[in-house]
Amino acid sequence: MAARYNCTEIQQFAQSVITDGFCVLPEQFSPEKLHHWRQSFLPLLERHIGREGHLKNRGPSRYYVTLPFTDPFADACIYEDDDVLAVVEQLVGTDALMCQLATDTPLLGSTTQDIHRDTLPLFPETGQETPPYQLAVNFPLVDVTMENGPFEVARRTHMMSKEEGLHRLQRGEVTLEPMTMKLGDVMIRDVRGLHRGTPNYTTEPRPMVVIGYSRRWLFRPEVSIQIPRATFEKLSARGRQLLRFNPIVESLDELPETERYQSFAY
Ligand SMILES: O=C(O)CCC(=O)C(=O)O
């Protein structure tokens, strides 16, 4: 889809991420496309639960599943979306990397997670936070309602220590906001914002896609996108640039079966 926003609007979205820790681009992606993603994802979720559901590292009945970089998920209309990338580039540089394509899915039986952030500070010994370096672009594969486990986030907690953020929550100076979202809405967030997953009280899975974009120098060994050589050959110049530090594999059949991203909360 062609860009929907002008430079000023893109800067406003980026400024919301800098100030509040996140922004939402409403109705950014095609619901039909995401419906197709959901159909393709559900068997992967089943297979994941069969193989490593016992690990329960995200909490009960909650699963982190990496998406294979193949059809329908290797879709440049999504990971090269002009508006999303324009906001991302304002935040983590025009030479940003894409290093993660995965999903978080609470099912019936899931619980409230501990409040956490998804990364440690870059320089923990200084007690200082830095400009953004790691972003999550999140979009659900169903409508997210108050019943099916909305992601909750505390605004303006990404530029302070976790302890300070927790104190502010305790004192009621900030609150956890449930992010209800329509199929097609896209959230861009600084992963340092304090947040947690909440229980899904319905019988339908609530998959939330996460595409990770980072500064070019940030290495995240727990995530990567295995790119089949045949797919790599067909990437656009921009796709190659975004995905340049990910491993190229001959076939996705050779992949390890368990997720490497087990330790996730800081
Ligand atoms: O509910 C979600 O989608 C996110 C849960 C979460 O923060 C996590 O598992 O790290």
Q: Given ligand 1 and candidates 57, 104, 142, 162, which is best to mutate, with the most ligand atoms within 8 Å of its CB? A: 104
Question: What count of other Cβ atoms lies within 10 Å of the Cβ of residue 177?
Answer: 15
Q: What is the pTM of this model?
A: 0.96
Question: What count of other Cβ atoms lies within 10 Å of the Cβ of residue 51?
Answer: 12
Question: What separation in angstroms does the CA of 230 have from each of 40, 58, 76, 98?
Answer: 20, 33, 15, 19
CA angle 171, 60, 194 (to 5 degrees): 30
Closest ligand 1 atom, CA of 59?
Answer: 9
Q: How does the average pLDDT of the chain come out, rounded?
A: 96
C-beta of 104 in contact with ligand 1 (< 6 A):
yes
C-beta of 261 in contact with ligand 1 (< 6 A):
no
pLDDT of 1 reads: 66
C-beta of 259 in contact with ligand 1 (< 6 A):
no
173/56: higher pLDDT? 173
Q: What is the mean pLDDT of residues 3-22?
A: 98
| Band of pLDDT at residue 13, cut at 50, 70 and 90 | very high
C-beta of 195 in contact with ligand 1 (< 6 A):
yes
Q: What is the mean pLDDT of residues 20-33?
A: 98
C-beta of 151 in contact with ligand 1 (< 6 A):
yes
Closest ligand 1 atom, CA of 138?
Answer: 3
Dig out the tokens for 150 from the structure.
Answer: 């909305």
C-beta of 189 in contact with ligand 1 (< 6 A):
no
Q: What is the mean pLDDT of residues 11-28?
A: 98
Is the confidence at residue 255, as pLDDT, over 70? Answer: no
C-beta of 102 in contact with ligand 1 (< 6 A):
no
How, if at all, do strands 97-106 and 62-66 pair? antiparallel
Q: What is the mean pLDDT of residues 123-130?
A: 94
| Domains, the chain, with CATH or none | 20-247 (2.60.120.620)
End-to-end CA distance of the chain: 36
The helix (run of H) or strand (run of E) holding residue 232 is helix 229-233
CA angle 14, 180, 185 (to 5 degrees): 50
Identify whether the C-beta of residue 222 lies closer than 8 Å to the C-beta of residue 256. no
For residue range 101-113, list pLDDT tens digits in order: 999 999 999 999 9
Quote the CA–CA distance of 249 and 226 in Å, as a whole number: 6
Quote the CA–CA distance of 171 and 143 in Å, as a whole number: 32
Identify whether the C-beta of residue 29 lies closer than 8 Å to the C-beta of residue 81. yes
For residue range 49-69, list pLDDT tens digits in order: 999 988 888 999 999 999 999
Percent of the chain at pLDDT > 70 equals 98
SS3 content of the chain, % helix, strand, coil (to 5): 30, 20, 50
C-beta of 136 in contact with ligand 1 (< 6 A):
no
Closest ligand 1 atom, CA of 197?
Answer: 1
pLDDT of 15 reads: 98
The helix (run of H) or strand (run of E) holding residue 177 is strand 176-178
Closest ligand 1 atom, CA of 265?
Answer: 10
Give me the residues paired with residue 243 across strands: none
Quote the CA–CA distance of 174 and 168 in Å, as a whole number: 6
Closest ligand 1 atom, CA of 151?
Answer: 1
DSSP summary character for residue 113: P
